[in-house]
Structure 1
Amino acid sequence: MPNLLKLALLALLFLPLHLSAQDSDGLYNVNMKFYHLDLDIDIDKPKIKGSIYIEFVAVKDQIDELYLDLGEGMKISKIDGASAFEREGEEILVKLSGRPLRKEERGKITVHYEGVPQNEQLDVDGETVTKGLLVKDRGKDKFQSRLLALAAYPQAGYRWFPCRRGIGDKVDSVYVDVTIPVRFSTAVVQEKERKIPYTAVSNGVLEGTEILEDGKKRKFKWRHRHRIAPHHLTVAVSNFAKMEVEYKAKGYSFPINFYIFPEHLEEANATINRSKEIMACLSRTFGPYPYRDEGFSVIELGLPLGLDGMPTQTAVLVEDLRSFHMYQVVHQAANMWFGNHISPEAWQDAWITEALATYAEATWQEYKRGLNVYQIILDQKEYYEGGKLYLDNINEYSQERLSKKGMYVIHMLRGIMGDEYFYQTLKGITELKRGKSTYLSTQRFREICEYYASENEPKDFKYFFDQWVFGEYYPTYKIEYEKTRSGINLRVLQEKIEGQKQFFEMPARIRFTLEDGSTVEKVVQLKALADQTIEVELGKDFNSLEFDPFNWIFKDLQYSREILSSRSPIENMSIKTSQGRRKIALSFASPKKQNIEIQLIQKANGVDILEDKILQSQEIKKVKGKKELSFKLPVPPKSRGVFELKIIGKSDVFSKTIRVTQLEKRFK
């Protein structure tokens, strides 16, 4: 489990997430409204010195104090607007000057502070990740340059400026002034040496710069006029090369800015060139970009960040911009809608934002290459372990589960709702059409889904959320069918794996391929039963049948069996896979002597394989009794593929679709 996220969520467990929340000590007796940070950053000896002006509103009468948090290594010299202050560890009690504030009355203080943030080094998915004040030196001699960045996502903005912990204490806007020495570094750009000035980048839009101290220093004035949580603030300083593209949509446009190490401009070209498409895809999925009046930025840090980067507001931080890390930009950009603009109401609701950001990776592939490649991304994110999305115990938290299982739950939700209502729901949430709160709970998410899906008839998704969000595991099916004059008799056998408490109820699609090559789709309702028989009316002859062909149900489909007669059935069929489904162990029994044919078919993917192809066909003569076989699929560890295994006897035909996943990353 990534320790960083676990620690962050442990902190959230004990913090109210509504701005108006209070506890017995008065820790949450005010709502923070506005921050103005004025920082002076020393590049050579990394250190912060500056102030933060804070405006707040009392949530009850007789407020004469408030609490702030500030990380170790940062010292407060004075607080304007306070008669006194006390500090214990990272907690600061501020005694306000003047008379106590009345409810809804506005107050203000200015905290003067300085120091070096105490960093955390944590293991995130096997990588050592540093949070706090990040420093990276690049190059040698005249090409030497330095990066400084203040980054503390998640839940650690207090490590570098006085604020309040937690995701619930959003301010309405924030100003960030950053003063740095006027400095240049030499870099080779397009085979020429160039002097690149140091730039300070923060959230929102740069509204101006100011030269100070007779040209020795420059102040960068950043303004962000949207609600923002402290941990979504960032500052990055280096000799960045800035590249800008303009994203245009109906009725508005905004810049997409890239702050890149100048020596990496060439390798960033693919991501820069795709950025408008990424924004178009995400806008189509989630609605208009919520910060379109200020633009969107991508900042290269050259440091391992874990978590696929950091979604600081209006600006995402990434390790680099090489094309095979483009998914990091997609993932973190999606957080601008769900994560930054729309935030979890409580720590248990964090699965929604993480699931949707991961789902964006799949929709990006669908946008570029279609549903077949979209499905490949889903294959790579399969999660067959136990565990819930909405947790009862913080110690059960798993970022992998929230990301992978959560992504598939969003996919299935799209399946049961249909595209029209699904996308209406996502856009309705981000555009605040179903309420003005920018906090989203699991219960509210379900209610909004039901509202949009109920346009023609009432929908109740309680069963879905109970199974997939509040429950564990997945259904395990065996499908059997027999043709009738009007269609088929379908039998669905459902098994429980160890630890599974319930059977699953789900709608399922069945696709029939007719004799003329056309297809017809039927939807059946699978009940939470061990054994269910369903009559499916078709009224036409068909050649083949596929159960849940587009994997709208996350499941283990052990096999599909077409029953031709009852004379010579194949019994005890078992098809097991391992090694990313490359290795297949097949066993069955034939009570009567018969010839059995085994076929391996490579399925079309719509990209480089345009039609199904039989790779292997083997007939086993005079089989009687138990038979065991094993073989490997011809797929290298860095590749993927979809195959169908068929076992054909006299009286029945078994088939299983095998989706081979990538075992090794192509790029590391």
Structure 2
Amino acid sequence: MHRRFTVPGAVAAASLLLAIPASAASFSPGAPGIGDPYYPYYGNGGYDVSHYDLRLTYQPATDELSGTATISARTTQDLSSFDLDFLLDVDEVRVNGVTARFTTSGEHELVVTPRQPLAEDTPVTVVVRYHGVPSTKNAYGFTTWHRTPDGAVAADEPESAWWWFPSNDHPGDKATFDVSVAVPDGTQAISNGTLVSTSSQLGWTRYNWRQNKPQATYLTTLALGRFDITTGTSEGGVPVINAYSKDLGDNDGAARASVERTGELVDWLSGYFGPYPFDSAGGYVPNTTTGYALETQTRVYYSPAQFANGSNTSVVVHELAHQWYGDSVSVKGWKDIWINEGFARYAQWLWSEHEGEGTTQQLADYVYASHPADDPFWTVKPGDPGADHQFDAAVYDRGALAIQALRNEIGDTAFFRLLKGWPQQHAYGNASVADFVTYAEQVSGKPLAALFDTWLFQPVKPAAPAARAASFAASPAGVEQPRSWKKIEATNDVHGR
């Protein structure tokens, strides 16, 4: 569940070309974008990051953030300069221990020119010292740094890193993380992975979090404030860390009734998707005015608005399903978003069936019958929806319809083998819709290109499957709404900022 945003196509963000020694004439600047057509200036070219070490200090009273980011990377070309995605004020940059020149370009590019050019396929360590007030920074007309009454939260998609750490901000460059944050005593800092230690000194407490599995930058989260933190272990042995703002008010009970089932739901989803891929699970509910939830890796972000109408385990199922489909296996490019959202939505359908509130087929029939042929719903292509429609309801619902059509075509045995096999096949990596089609054909032994083309790429309503046509003909006024639908539908209303 995410908010929708499209980067203006006319944004000018070319890297600044700085003079380099004649001996390095073959070296060139890294590209200011990683090459994603949906977001041309997201991510950067010329290097691949393996680890981020962030050592930060935050003052909630003023929203001041300062710190040092140490980035371990390897060059993928001969580089005269390279970009990082970042918005705060930079004090110093060092490359391999030596101070480097830096400037800014475009909306969010920090352009770094090392003293000596960097040869292809060599390790590089970049240290950035910085400071600023994230809530005062704006790019493309928005911010992803959300102030709360007692602190702030960084959680958004398809970007959020720029506001608090320099990065190669695209899921195509995943890395491990150490996030260490000092806050005044009484305030807590929550991030991804495992809390490895805390320490206190002179009225400040430092929280040290570690994510030891590759993680996309937009899935890296930071929550700063006063929380009630609960810990436990699922029956299957997964440590669970949840947190709730101490001032959630009327939404507190419903939030806890939902998020505290995380361990149970992780174990249940493991039955469909295979072993849980990370060292911890959990979620947090800060006191924000945003409306969405986000699958931030191991520590899901939930807006309290998700629980304004009571508990909703369906949204928790959706975000936890992303830990396999979206987090462990991430998109190659943002056009591949169906693999994330279609399968997370289908997990909600599976949960509905488990709870006796509507089978996956009943839900598929309801969605299909609810949208007449002239509904714009069918013009969105889940397999390549475009940046304007990346988080459209059709990506979720028509995307789940495609999965039910696949299940009906290949049968349950192959289908459930595929559900488990895909996250293992591409664990901790990236994959595309085309990769998924190939894998589905391998698992099932059937040609499936036509089926996927019909359900994912054609901007028209597919013909009703023969096995379902009679059912639709018998109920021309529509199909009965499954009992789970209202809870599932509630997760559609989470795209706006």
Q: 1:67 aligns with which of 51, 60, 83?
A: 83
1:452 corresponds to: 443
Counterpart Cα distance in 2 of 1:466 and 1:262: 48
Counterpart of 2:190?
201
Map of 1:419-498 to 2, 5 A cutoff?
419-432=412-425, 438-454=429-445, 459-475=446-462
1:402 match: secondary structure: helix
Deviates more, 1:397-406 or 1:222-231: 397-406
**Contact 1:281 1:363 (C-alpha < 8 Å) held by counterparts:** no
Which of 79, 96, 106 is 2:93 aligned to?
Answer: 79
Q: CA deviation at 1:328?
A: 2.1
1:35 maps to a residue whose letter is: Y
Q: Distance in 2 between matches of 1:288 and 1:407?
A: 22
| Deviation of 1:169 (Å) | 1.9
> Within 5 A, what are the aligned runs for 1:344-493?
344-369=331-356, 372=359, 375-376=362-363, 379=366, 382-384=370-372, 385-387=377-379, 388-391=381-384, 394-395=387-388, 397=390, 399-432=392-425, 438-454=429-445, 459-475=446-462
Identify the residue that residue 49 of structure 1 maps to in structure 2: 66
Identity over aligned pairs, percent: 23
Cα distance, 1:278 vs. partner?
1.5
Which aligned pairs between 1:481-520 and structure 2 lie closer than 5 A? Answer: 506=465, 508-509=466-467
| 8 Å contact kept, 1:119–1:132 | no
Q: 2:167 aligns with which of 158, 163, 168?
A: 163
Q: Per-residue displacement from partner, 1:519-559 (whole Å, max 9, x unpaired)? A: xxxxxxxxxxxxxxxxxxxxxxxxxxxx666xxxxxxx334
Q: Alpha-carbon deviation of 1:3? A: 7.1
One-letter code aligned to 2:167: C
- Which residue of the other structure, out of 334, 347, 361, is the alignment partner of 2:321? 334
Normalising by structure 1, we get a TM-score of 0.61
Rate the CA distance shift 1:383–1:209 in 2: closer, same or farther, 3 A: farther
Return the alpha-carbon distance in structure 2 between the equivalents of residues 239 and 217 of structure 1.
14
The CA distance in 2 between the partners of 1:447 and 1:109, in whole Å, is 38
Q: Who wins on radius of gyration, i.e. which is larger?
A: 1
> Do the aligned partners of residues 114 and 354 (structure 1) sit closer, same or farther apart at CA in structure 2, a change above 3 Å counting?
same
How many correspondences in the alignment? 449
Task: Confirm or deny that 1:299 pairs with 2:311.
Answer: no
CA change 1:373–1:254 in 2 (3 A) is same
Residues 346/226 of structure 1: CA separation in 2 closer, same or farther (3 Å cut) = same
Contact 2:53–2:177 under 8 Å retained in 1: yes
> Deviation string for 1:140-166 (max 9, x for gaps)?
xxxxxx242122322231132111232
Alignment counterpart, residue 115 of structure 1, candidates 121, 132, 143: 132
Q: What letter corresponds to residue 452 of structure 1 in structure 2?
A: V
In structure 2, relative to structure 1, the CA distance for the partners of 1:280 and 1:121 (3 Å cut) is: farther
Give the drift of 1:286. 1.6
- CA distance in 1: counterparts of 2:397 and 2:316, whole angstroms: 18
The Cα shift of 1:353 comes to: 1.0
Of 19, 26, 34, 1:16 maps to: 34
Counterpart of 1:135 in 2: which secondary structure? Answer: strand
The amino acid across from 2:229 in the alignment is K
* Residue identity matched to 2:181: V
Matching of residue 258 in structure 1 with residue 247 in structure 2:
no
Worse-matched range after superposition: 86-95 or 173-182? 86-95
1:480-510 per-residue CA deviation (whole Å, 9 max, x = no partner) reads xxxxxxxxxxxxxxxxxxxxxxxxxx5x448
Deviations 1:198-223 (A, max 9, x none): 211001100001112x3x10110001
Cα–Cα, structure 1 residues 96 and 155, in superposed 2: closer, same or farther, change >3 Å? same
Q: CA deviation at 1:405?
A: 0.7
Query: Residues 67 and 130 of structure 2 are in contact (CA less than 8 Å); yes or no, is this contact kept in structure 1?
Result: yes
Contact 1:37 1:51 in 2 (8 A): yes
Q: 2:49 aligns with which of 32, 36, 44?
A: 32
Q: Deviations over 1:366-388 (max 9, x none)?
A: 22226548734873685543222
User: Match of 1:474, SS?
Assistant: coil
Following superposition, the deviation at residue 363 of structure 1 comes to 1.1
Please tell me the residue identity of whatever aligns with 1:154. P
Please, what TM-score do these two structures have when normalized by structure 2?
A: 0.80
Report 1 or 2 for greater relative contact order, CA contacts < 8 Å, sequence distance ≥ 6: 2
- Whether the 8 Å contact between 1:37 and 1:176 is mirrored in structure 2 is yes
> 2:9 and 2:258 mapped to 1: Cα distance?
32
2:42 is the counterpart of 1:58: no
Alpha-carbon distance between aligned partners in 1 of 2:127 and 2:81, rounded to the nearest angstrom: 14
Aligned counterparts of 2:487 and 2:262: Cα–Cα separation in 1:
26
Q: CA deviation at 1:417?
A: 1.6
Partner Cα distance (1:446, 1:663) in 2: 26
For 1:16, what is the secondary structure of its paired residue?
A: coil
Q: The residue matched to 2:73 in structure 1 has which SS?
A: strand
Residues 618-657 of structure 1 mapped to structure 2, 5 A cutoff? 640=481
Deviation at 1:15, TM superposition (A): 4.3
The CA deviation at 1:231 is 1.1
Question: 1:286 matched to which residue of 2?
Answer: 273
- Kept in 1, the 8 Å contact 2:382–2:456? The answer is yes
Please tell me the residue identity of whatever aligns with 1:449: A
Give the AA of the match of 1:78.
E
Counterpart AA for 1:329: V
Aligned pairs for 1:201-280 (under 5 A) are 201-212=190-201, 214=202, 216-249=203-236, 253-262=237-246, 266-272=253-259, 274-280=261-267
Higher strand share: 1
Confirm or deny that 1:149 pairs with 2:153.
yes
Shift of 1:131: 4.2
